[in-house]
């Protein structure tokens, strides 16, 4: 079982912007090349706190923080996850670094 994670924010703002559909579609794209979650697990996350920049999607331990994600961006994100594409830089760097760091601090468990 892999420890690589893709989290899609399901906080209030991101949900209003359609993160439920983004989750479903990204999960379907990932399942096409990784049906058994052997390469990455995709999960919902309650809120990253970068609400103004939603919809937010993170990759861990890659520590990639995608913001303002739309359904049109999902094939490129899936290709990055699959290793067939570069990080989608047009979606990174939009979230304040201190906000990004909070989520990495939570996931970087020393235990």
Partner 1 sequence: MSIVDLEAKIPNNVGLRDNKRLMMALERWQPKFLDWWAKLGPTDFNQDQIYLRTAIGVGQGGWAHFDYVKMPDYRWGIFLADGPADRKIHFGDQLGENAWQEVPGEFRNRLRRLIVTQGDTEPASVEQQRQLGHCCPSLYDLRSLFQVNVEEGRHLWAMVYLLQTHFGADGREEAEAMLERHSGDADNPRILQAFNYPVNNWLDFFCFTAFMDRDGKYQLASLAESSFDPLARTTQFMLAEEAYHLQTGENGVGRIVKRTGELMAEGKDPRTVGAIPLDVVQRFVNFWFTGSMDLFGGEDSTNAAESFANGLKGRYRESDGIYKDPKALSATYTLEVPTEDGKVVTRDIPLRRAMNAVLLDAYIADCKRIVERWNRDLEKLGVQQRIELPDHKFNRHQGVYAGFRFTPQGKPIDEASWTHQHTEWLPTQADRDYVQSCMKRVIEPGKFANYIAPPQQGVNNQPIEFEYVKFH
Number of residues that bind partner 1 (CB under 8 A): 32
Residue 63, both tokens: 């520590």
Q: Look at the chain and count its residues.
A: 111
Give the nearest distance from C-beta 49 to partner 1 in angstroms: 4
Question: Peptide bond before 61: cis, by omega within 30 degrees of 0?
Answer: yes
Q: Which of 51, 55, 5, 49 is nearest to 27 (CA)?
A: 5
Task: Annotate 57-72 with DSSP letters as a single string.
Answer: EEEETTTEEE-S--GG
Q: What is the dihedral of CA 99, 66, 105, 60, to 10 degrees?
A: 180
Q: Does 23 bind partner 1 (CB under 8 A)?
A: yes
- Choosing from 36, 46, 83, 97, the residue that interacts with partner 1 (CB under 8 A) is 46
Q: Which residue has the tokens 């979230």?
A: 95
- Choosing from 24, 28, 38, 71, the residue that interacts with partner 1 (CB under 8 A) is 24
Q: Does 43 bind partner 1 (CB under 8 A)?
A: yes
Cβ-based nearer residue to partner 1, 3 or 89 = 3
Contact residues for partner 1, defined by CB under 8 A: 1-3, 5, 10-13, 16, 20-21, 23-24, 41, 43, 46-49, 51-52, 60, 96, 98-99, 102, 105-107, 109-111
């Amino acid at each position: 079982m892999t420890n690589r994670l893709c989290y899609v924010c399901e906080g209030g703002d991101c949900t209003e912007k359609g993160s439920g559909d983004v989750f479903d579609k990204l999960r379907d794209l990932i399942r096409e090349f990784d049906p058994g979650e052997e390469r990455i697990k995709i999960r919902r996350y309650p809120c990253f706190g970068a609400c103004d920049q939603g919809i937010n999607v993170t990759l861990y331990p890659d520590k990639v923080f995608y913001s303002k994600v739309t359904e049109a961006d999902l094939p490129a994100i899936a290709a990055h996850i699959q290793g067939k594409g570069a990080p989608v830089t047009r979606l990174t760097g939009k979230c304040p670094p201190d906000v990004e760091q909070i989520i990495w601090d939570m996931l970087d468990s020393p235990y």
